[in-house]
Amino acid sequence: MILPILLVTAVTAVPAAYAIHWRRNQARRRNADWDSILARFRSNSEFGFAEVTERYLYSPEIQATPENIWTRIHGAAGLWAMFVNAGVLMELVDYASRHRGEAIPEMLIEELRSDALQLRMAVLVALLRYGVSRSGVSASVNAHRAACAYGSMLAHMTSLFQEHSALFFPRFLEAM
């Protein structure tokens, strides 16, 4: 008799606690300033992505293999940094759209959200494959996809700040 009451209480308390946590987290993110958001951004040179973009993704003469990308981004650590940075980049877009000098097109914001979602999915799949099989082969293929999505997101972010938010552009480049 007491077990169903405890079960019902737990089933309702856990989602309620999560909802409260989620709302507080959203309020904290809305009230964050530019510098506190950028403080959570992991520099691309920290996990080798600056070299990956320069040498492999944006150079027409050199074609990168998935194994090259996996090694250059330091494996799972680099993937996780990309995952975290995708969220931080979206917070920067939201901040710039709230505090903008010029109107940011909704289409561009949606493209960035789509880039972030694709990036995060590719990272999670790569980490899952790496964790399950401990094989770098299948994980490196998804790491290559994640690196391409991350590069695309960075290119979109750079154009967004260049064209629509000149005030934030130099500070964004410094963090990169």
Total domains in the fold of the chain? 2
Give pLDDT tens digits for 21-76. 778 877 777 778 888 888 888 887 777 777 776 655 555 555 667 777 788 888 88
Which residues touch 40 (CB under 8 Å, ≥6 apart)?
84, 88
The whole-model pTM stands at 0.76
Residues 24 and 64 in one domain: no
Residues 43 and 9 in one domain: no
Residues 67 and 125 in one domain: yes
Domain holding 9, by residue range, is: 1-31
* 8 A C-beta contact, residue 33 and residue 166: no
CATH number for the domain that contains residue 92: 1.20.120
Residues 24 and 37 in one domain: no
C-alpha 68/C-alpha 66 separation (Å) is: 5
C-alpha 130/C-alpha 79 separation (Å) is: 11
CB neighbours of residue 170 within 10 Å: 9
